[in-house]
Amino acid sequence: MTPTSAASSAPSAATSATGAATGAAHGADPRAGLRRQASRARLLIAVLLFVTVVINYLDRANLSVAMPAIASELELSTGQQGILLSAFGWTYAALQIPGGWLIDRVSPRILYPACLVLWSLATAFMGLAGGFVALICLRLLVGMLEAPAYPINNRVATTWFPDKERATVIGFYTSGQFIGLALLTPVLTWLQAAFSWHWIFIVTGGVGVLWGVVWYLVYREPRASRADELEIEHIRSGGGLVDLDTEIRAAERKKKLDARDFAHVLRSRKLWGIYIGQFCLTSTLWFFLTWFPTYLVDYRGMDYIKSGFLVSLPYVAALIGVLLSGVVSDGLLRRGRSLGLARKGPIITGLLLSTAVLGANFTDDTTWVIVFLSVAFFGNGLASITWSLVSALAPERLLGTTGGMFNFIGNLSSIATPIVIGFLVSSTSFAPGFVYITAVTLLGIASYVFLVGKVERVADRPGTAAATA
């Protein structure tokens, strides 16, 4: 905390103490008055995460919007399109583990804006690329630089929010990916129709550069922020790790990379349950982020503008699902339900609903296709609080490492989904692609039911300070 903020918080604490004494004299619960007077700086953090996720997912999905035009201009086959759509995933998945290690050592205030500005510049340069190889190289670069993004989001949420608020805030900022895609996909399709596909990348990249500067100027850790001691205590007592950036963590950052830490987070059956489950969940997501616009344009014969508005409908459904998931999950927890039911219940229900994607194989009516896919994507949104299980299961000292492993294995789907679908579908039938998505979703349900089991934190490896504390 800076001297200025410390000085300003002292009168506030004195005033709060006086109010508490007065309340006690009249038989009131003094803690209730303190809670009402506590600051709510964490609300700004939730908004920062939300906007960042909007930009993050626009930069993931912009290629899918531009793909029909790019494929036509460059005369790409469906196999080549699948390879280009998967390029992001190769480096994104590969960098999750070192990215997680880095997150445990570099403050989000520095690491996040650095990554954001650099991936946004790579995105903007895609608008200047004129060949297949150049596009692949830049897309690989975007994936590499976006790799730490979601583990950082989880790191920030675990630092700033108590357990009983965390699923709600994860649901809120995760909804940014669907709000951005639902509301801004039509804008991207308009940009392409009015100018060219190049402008999709130039505009989205420029917005990301500006937001990186905003994040650096605004974000602070809890004890260095405008949050007062009452809010910090509310977060800490509720399970928020407000001191992840203290001297103890600073000493941890100086340690060399220890392969035993990575081995430890790979030994747990519980952690493997969420790793596999995340791969299955994100397989549906990556269909919508890569092949869905092409499916509507090439297999349903729709023009760009009409496709843009229809693309929005499943994203709106997913938005409703993801907002509902956090509220329902934290609501169950506040009502005394077990952490396992509160977290796994919406996830498993959502995965069951996601199998509705198979219904698109049994109708030629575009309206019914959109209905089936909207139900499926609503389910995907409902299941999207999986990061809350990382917060609940990961060893405290290895939060970033576990998050990196979780995102690495989970986002192998960003490689597999575009390529597998690209080679399964033919020029006239997309049906095998939907069969693949459904089969993977069923595997995800089995993973959460049989592997995760009781939701409780995994112990640190023997011999560490955390394990012996």
pLDDT range class, residue 257, cuts 50, 70, 90: low
What six digits make up the tokens of 220? 């602070």
What six digits make up the tokens of 242? 């407000």
The more confident residue out of 182 and 303 is: 182
Angstrom distance (rounded) from CA 220 to CA 112? 12
Answer whether residue 3 is part of any domain.
Answer: no
**305: CATH:** 1.20.1250.20
Coil, strand, or helix at residue 424?
Answer: helix
Mean pLDDT over 335-340 rounds to 81
Angstrom distance (rounded) from CA 239 to CA 249? 17
Write the CB contacts of 161 (distance below 8 Å, at least 6 apart in sequence).
42, 46, 169, 235, 240
Answer whether residue 247 is part of any domain.
Answer: yes
pLDDT range class, residue 112, cuts 50, 70, 90: very high
Write the CB contacts of 413 (distance below 8 Å, at least 6 apart in sequence).
89, 279, 280, 282, 283, 285, 286, 440
Convert the pLDDT of each residue in 392-433 to its tens digit.
Answer: 888 877 877 788 788 888 888 988 998 899 889 887 889 999
30-44, 158-172, 197-211: least confidently modelled range: 30-44
Write the CB contacts of 226 (distance below 8 Å, at least 6 apart in sequence).
5, 39, 41, 220
Q: What is the pLDDT of residue 304?
A: 55
Angstrom distance (rounded) from CA 155 to CA 177? 18
Angstrom distance (rounded) from CA 399 to CA 268? 14
Domain around 418 = 41-461
Selection from 437, 334, 429 nearest residue 380 by Cα: 437
pLDDT above 90 for 366: no
pLDDT range class, residue 279, cuts 50, 70, 90: very high
Angstrom distance (rounded) from CA 113 to CA 48? 12
The alpha helices in 75-148, defined as continuous H runs, are 78-94, 96-103, 108-126, 132-146
Coil, strand, or helix at residue 210?
Answer: helix
DSSP line for 268-310 = -HHHHHHHHHHHHHHHHHHHHHHTHHHIIIIIS---HHHHHHH
Q: What is the pLDDT of residue 174?
A: 80
Angstrom distance (rounded) from CA 371 to CA 186? 19
pTM of this structure? 0.68
Do 233 and 146 contact (CB within 8 A), yes or no? no
442: buried, middle or exposed (CB in 10 Å: 19+, 13-18, 0-12)?
A: middle
Selection from 145, 142, 149, 148 nearest residue 127 by Cα: 142
pLDDT above 60 for 36: no
User: CA angle at residue 92 from 87 to 93, to 5 degrees?
Assistant: 105
Do 111 and 103 contact (CB within 8 A), yes or no? yes
Selection from 68, 70, 84 nearest residue 293 by Cα: 68
pLDDT above 60 for 24: no
pLDDT range class, residue 25, cuts 50, 70, 90: very low
Answer whether residue 4 is part of any domain.
Answer: no
Angstrom distance (rounded) from CA 155 to CA 107? 10
Answer whether residue 12 is part of any domain.
Answer: no
Answer whether residue 171 is part of any domain.
Answer: yes
Total domain count for the chain? Answer: 1
b/e map of 269-279 (b: 16 or more CB within 10 Å)?
Answer: ebbbbbbbbbb
Do 188 and 293 contact (CB within 8 A), yes or no? no
295-299, 370-374, 380-384: least confidently modelled range: 295-299
Answer whether residue 22 is part of any domain.
Answer: no
